[in-house]
Amino acid sequence: MKTIIIGGVAGGASAAARLRRLDEAAEIIILERGEFISFANCGLPYFIGGEITDRNMLTLQTPASFKARFNIDVRVFSEAIKISPDTKTVTVKDFNIGTTYEESYDNLILSPGAEPIKPNISGIEGANVFTLRNIPDTLKIKNYIETAEPKSAVVIGGGYIGVEMAENLAKAGLEVSIVELSDHLVAPLDFDMAADVHRYIKGKGIRLYLNNGVQVIDGSKVILQNGEISADMVIMSVGVRPETSLAKDCGIALNARGSIVVDSRMKTNIPNIYAVGDAVEVSNFITKVSAFIPLAGPANKQGRIAADNIAGFDSEYKGTQGSAVLKLFDMTVATTGLNEKSAEAAGIDFDKIYTYSASHASYYPGGNMMSVKILWDKKTLKIIGAQIVGFDGVDKRMDVIASAIRFGAKVTDLAELELCYAPPYGSAKDPVNMAGFVAENIISGKVKQFFWHDVENLPRDGSVTLLDVRTVTERARGHIDGFSHIPLDSLRERLNELPKDKPVYVHCHSGLRSYIACRILTGNGYDCYNLAGGWRLYESVMNERTVPEYICTECR
């Protein structure tokens, strides 16, 4: 049995290694048009920034190592230029000697990946404009920094790769700006969770131009829809699209976006041809709707599943939920599942909570707070998405929640999880447990909540009571207009100041003390609502809504 795999990296290399482990007698050929068969593409920005210093560490496998360990025939600089399903052959161009030849197959796995989107912008082909997809791209950028010695850079696109590149260019000593069409960085985040990211990244000296786009790149001048920036180099990071022209030419079914349509066993519409990785259409694990979610973890799993089925083992891919994590200097940003926009698009009636918890016991040195947002389906109570922004411990909390989603947990189940605890690592009430506690209080009716986006519409005509229960010192740093002030510890003694015939809308710094205030008020006959996320979240979002974008000095 002979299997040809077109493309390596995550999906193709995983399929090859898995197939060999399952079938020692199989003939396996990998065709790779570039020099590198298996490399750490997620690590490329960190080589540019100097976090990874040895370029050889980016290469996970070489043709020689694949041959030695797995007895796989790896052919680099060999591009598949045509697939002929009728004859079950692939036409290959060998760049080493400049000739073409045909190779027959019994089974074929396509793993062509995705290519960077290059928008129609004048000047995009300039010598100082780069994209980042592979090791050659990385070396070009690194070499440009070392030889041209640029002082400034613009990153066009504020997704995961764009933000990682901005961090690493800053670490390489450049002044960095990010231009993003959306109103916030990191698309899987909601705006309210991205607000903390914006404040932090600007504090690191990176300029943000949000709700803005690039019209022209003219040498060292980047002309925006609103303003312009001077920059010595430009990184294009506006997203990727599936690279599927080869599949299309041989009659493999594609969706409207150009992704290869596969079934749960990674089979295309043509017999004996499979496809895996960033080039394929996946099913969103939560909504069951077709999606394009290019991530390394799913690509590896898909490669394994295709190999299983070729080897005669029934194996299915059950969807992608989009779990991802981002390092931003010392900050960690993690997401899984749906955000509010995607939940609304899916027609899900959802609720949400915000918590603000310490990464480990508050009395143990070095702890940091993390902001947690969780969405759940009101009908089933199942968790449908989560976002966490913080520092240490964010990744492990998100992994717990991502696992809970995969196994169909209700949001209230988070309260029941027994997680590891010692003061250096967590709290007896872990941030994951706390999210479950808060959700259970909402669902059971123990407390009602309102949100930052409701505040401006609350009446200030005396028909409701607006109450701030923070300390005098906290209130002096800033407050919400129209909210009267009674510190929590004085509330019981001053209840007579609050009319019982009016709803009370309460806030504190994070939502915890105002929850306690609501329990006091409810126990005394009041109708109370707690501000989810508290002053901290409200102030963060309002600050991002009102602070103007950076405008370059040359444009003023």
Q: Which residues carry out catalysis?
A: 42
Distance CA 316, CA 301 (A): 10
Distance CA 115, CA 102 (A): 26
Eight-class DSSP state of 531 = E
Q: Which helix (H) or strand (E) holds 541?
A: helix 534-546
Query: How many C-alpha atoms does 289 have within 13 Å on its Cβ side?
Result: 10
Distance CA 167, CA 73 (A): 38
Report whether 35 contacts 60 (CB < 8 A): no
Distance CA 550, CA 151 (A): 18
Report whether 183 contacts 189 (CB < 8 A): no
**Partners of residue 375 on adjacent β-strands:** 352, 385
Q: Within a 10 A sphere around the Cβ of 296, how many other Cβ atoms? A: 17
Distance CA 413, CA 320 (A): 22
Burial bucket for residue 133 (CB in 10 Å: 0-12, 13-18, 19+): middle
Distance CA 300, CA 42 (A): 13
Report whether 421 contacts 360 (CB < 8 A): no
Distance CA 184, CA 192 (A): 9
Report whether 272 contacts 88 (CB < 8 A): yes
The residues near 199 (Cβ < 8 Å, ≥ 6 apart) are 540, 543, 544
Report whether 485 contacts 479 (CB < 8 A): yes
Q: Closest by alpha carbon to 4, among 144, 69, 101, 133?
A: 101
Q: Where do we find the tokens 């020689």?
A: 64
Report whether 220 contacts 232 (CB < 8 A): yes
Write out the two tokens for 276: 């895996």
* Rg, C-alpha atoms of the chain: 27
Report whether 508 contacts 497 (CB < 8 A): no
Distance CA 254, CA 95 (A): 28
Q: Within a 10 A sphere around the Cβ of 303, how many other Cβ atoms? A: 29
Chain Cα centroid distance, residue 181: 17
Q: Where do we find the tokens 């480990």?
A: 360
